[in-house]
Structure formats: C-alpha cells, structure tokens
Amino acid sequence: MKTETRPQTGIIMLLVLVLVVGIALGLLIARPLYHKEEDVPERAVPTEAPPPVEEVPTEPTPVEEKLPPADEQLSTPLEESSAAEPEEGTAPVSEASIPAPTHTFGLAAIARAAEEPLHLAAGEVYLYDGFSWTWLKPLEGVPVNDMSKDEFQLIDEKPVYLGTAYETRLGVDVSEHQYEIDWNKVAKSGVDFAYIRIGRRGYTEGGLFADPWFESNYNGAVKAGLQVGVYFYSQAISEEEAREEAQFVLDALQGRSLDLPIVFDWEKIDNEDADIARTNGLGMERRTDCAVTFCETIREGGYDASVYFNRNLGYYGFDLRRLTDYGFWFALPIAPPELYWPSFYYKVDIWQYSFTDTVPGIEGETDMNMMFVPVAQG
C-alpha cells in the first residue's frame, strides 16, 4: 500500500531549519542592548539632598538598672517610677558634682526649672533624686514645688529666699543630743521656731522612750517666745505600732498647746547597726500606712500632723499621694556653691537645710530649718 507522508516530512524539517536560523539572527541583532558595566552611563547626581528623616526621640537609658523591692514601688502602674531606689548604704553623689542637663523642652513653667524639663514622650520630669539624674512621672494630686533656684541666694554661707510668694522663718530642731539649751540666746539670735523631740522608738527591740530633755526644752522655748512643735522619731513597722507611737505622744503632751504640727519622723537606719534594724525590708505601702495611721491618730487628739522625709524617702519611700492632708518637712542639706535651695519636685512646708549649723545658746552643732509661710494675695 503506498503512503503520502514523505513529502510532508520534508516540509516540516525545512520549517524547523528556518525557525532556528531566525532565532540565531535575532540574538545577534539584540546583543548591543546588553552593555558591559563600564558602558552604562553614570547616574545623574541630584542637585538637592533628600529631606532629612525626622528623628524620633528615645527614652533615656537609666545609668543603672537596679530594681527596688516589689513593695517599694508605687501601687498604681501608671504612676510607677522608671528609676530604681538606690541600694541601702549607697553613698549619695552630690548634686553639685553632676551637671544638670542642658536640653529643655520649652515647658520649664510646668517642670519648675530648666534642669527639670518635661519629658513629652512619657509625661515625666528630669530631676536629681539624690543619687543620679533620672526621669520620674509626677504623682497626680500632689502639689508641685512652685519655688525655683533663682529665688534663693547664699549670703554668708546661708540660704536666703528672695521670692515674694512666701515669708520665711528660721527654726531649730533639738533633742537630748543638744543637752541643756539657753533658749533666750537662741531666740535673740533670730530663730523663730523650735521643733523638740518628744520621744523615740528603738530600732532593734522596738521599745518606746521619752526624750529626757523634752520638758526642759519645751518650757524654755515657750518662755523665750518661740513657736513650738514636737516630733517623734519613729521605727514603726505596722499600723498598730504607729498608733501606739501617736498615743505615746498625746499622753506625753497632756493637752499642752502647740503652735506647729506634730511630726512623724520615720528614718532608715544607716549606721553600723543597719543590718540588725527591725525596719529592714519595710516597703513603701506599709511605711505609708504607718504615716497615715500616726497622723490620723494625732488629728483625732486635736493636733495637726506632718511627715518628715529626705529626698530618697520622698521619691521612693512614701506614697505622697496618700499624705497630702498633712504637712511636709523636707530634709536636704545645702552644698555650696551650687545647691542652696529645696531641690525637690513637690511642695514642702519646712526645709531642713543643715545638720551642722551653730546657733548661740546651743552647744555644738544643730539642725537648721526654713519655714515657708504663704503670703496672702490681696
């Protein structure tokens, strides 16, 4: 049987040959489109630089990441400090030896001073807490210190307030450590008021003790015409003990008249017995409970109440939001020539500016204080 496929096969082969030749010619013609690297023309350089990328401010990194005990932190997360409480026994660095930040965010009136600008990203303020410059979130409801460094001046190595919002009065605080005092000489030296220790609690066994010089100091200060207040050196570790201390004060006063509030003076032990102090480990919440209980018991007894603290306790040891019903007595000794004002973010009523002052009528060194009395606005 004959077939007609052979002519068709030849035609197919011819078409394949034509296709191969066409592809080869196409590649040869297209080759100039693929330049060598050196043949590529140089890219034009723009005449203007691209707009700078806006920098996003980052929060400062703490100098040290030392976390305080859990109960030493504020209870409300939004108000917790980003800084850690310095370790017990750590020697504070002088504020004067650490330069204040030079930057500011233009809200010095809110932040109180150029060295304490407002941290816009977190609503915090930059301040010196007694150990380092750090960011802290202001506590809601606690009045802010409305005095600035510019309103103070050192005259004869003593701080003088030059502002107009307050009248100032000078005062001493004394205990058995000053022994016998000539209160007439004290009054004539320019002292206006005196805080007298009425008693204390021991820091190892927790016993209560009357100050043996209280009666003499109270009577002498009153007779000399000074304004008088009393304070109790507390080592309370519970509300029950704080109430016991307040009742001890009321019983010792026996209804005596006072010109100034009764002060809850709770202090950390930092001497050679620090390791055996019964107050070790006491946290912010319980310490504040003790302060509130003491002050409320005093108020129930018919007297006003105040709380004493230094910068460390003021920022990390007490929840000041719970203490705004009482006066604030703030301890911060001056360090000339830079530090000569009450450098604390919150408003204070009395500033203890020296632990080593000398006053006529008092043998040896004594504490010195400045009281701020608001001037009535006409």
- Examine the domain organization and report whether 312 and 260 are in the same domain: yes
- Establish if 203 belongs to a structural domain: yes
Q: Which tokens in the block code for residue 51?
A: 């707009």
Quote the pLDDT of residue 377.
77
Range with lowest mean pLDDT among 102-111, 171-180, 260-269: 102-111
Q: Is residue 22 part of a domain?
A: no
With respect to residue 98, please indicate whether it lies within any of the assigned structural domains: yes
CA dist., res. 322 & res. 207, Å (int): 27
Same-domain pairing of 74 and 125: yes
- Listed in order, strand segments (DSSP E) in 19-177 are 118-119, 124-128, 133-136, 152-155, 158-161, 166-174
| Whether residue 160 is found in the same domain as residue 207 | yes
Q: Are residues 162 and 111 in the same domain?
A: no
230-283 per-position pLDDT tens digit: 999 999 999 999 999 999 999 999 999 999 999 999 999 988 888 899 999 999
Residue 42 is assigned to a structural domain of this protein: no
Q: Are residues 106 and 167 in the same domain?
A: no
Domain membership of residue 31 (yes or no) is no
Q: What is the mean pLDDT of residues 166-195?
A: 97
The pLDDT-based confidence of 130 (bands split at 50, 70, 90) is confident
- Using 50, 70 and 90 to split pLDDT, how confident is the model at 4? very low
Where is the domain boundary, 136, 158, 179? 136
pTM: 0.72
Report the distance separating Cα 222 and Cα 16, nearest Å.
Answer: 126
The top-scoring range by mean pLDDT among 71-85, 115-129, 208-222, 333-347 is: 208-222
Provide the domain count of the chain: 2
Residue finishing a domain among 84, 107, 136: 136
Arithmetic mean of pLDDT, 70-76: 35
Dihedral sign, CA of 149, 151, 154, 159? Answer: negative
**What pairs with residue 170 in β-bridges?**
370
CA–CA distance, 349 with 106 (Å, rounded to integer): 28
Report how far residue 116's alpha carbon sits from residue 119's, in angstroms, rounded to the nearest whole number.
9
> If you count DSSP H runs as helices and E runs as strands, how many of each does the chain have, helices first?
7, 14
Q: Is the peptide bond before 337 cis (omega within 30 degrees of 0)?
A: yes
Is pLDDT above 70 for 42?
no
Whether 368 maps to a domain, the answer reads yes
Q: What pLDDT score does 123 carry? A: 82
Mean pLDDT of the chain: 78
In terms of domains, do 128 and 249 share one? no
Contacts of 315 (CB under 8 A, 6+ apart): 81, 83, 129, 130, 136, 345
Residues 235 and 105 in one domain: no
| Shared-domain flag, residues 360 and 317 | yes
Residue 361 resides in a domain = yes
Calculate what percentage of the chain has a pLDDT beyond 90. 59
Domain end call among 85, 103, 136: 136
Pairing of strands 350-357, 366-374: antiparallel
Q: Are residues 295 and 334 in the same domain?
A: yes
**pLDDT score for 21:** 58
Per-residue model confidence (pLDDT) at position 141: 96
Residues 118 and 248 placed together within one structural domain of the fold: no
- The residues, ordered by sequence, that sit 6+ positions from 184 with a Cβ below 8 Å of its Cβ are 224, 361
10: in domain: no
In which domain, by residue range, is 314 found?
149-374
* Same structural domain, 243 and 94: no
Quick one: 165 and 222 in the same domain? yes
Say which CATH number the domain at 359 has. Answer: 3.20.20.80
Residues, the chain: 378
Indicate the helix (H) or strand (E) that contains 264: strand 262-266
Per-residue pLDDT of 240-249, as tens digits, reads 999 999 999 9
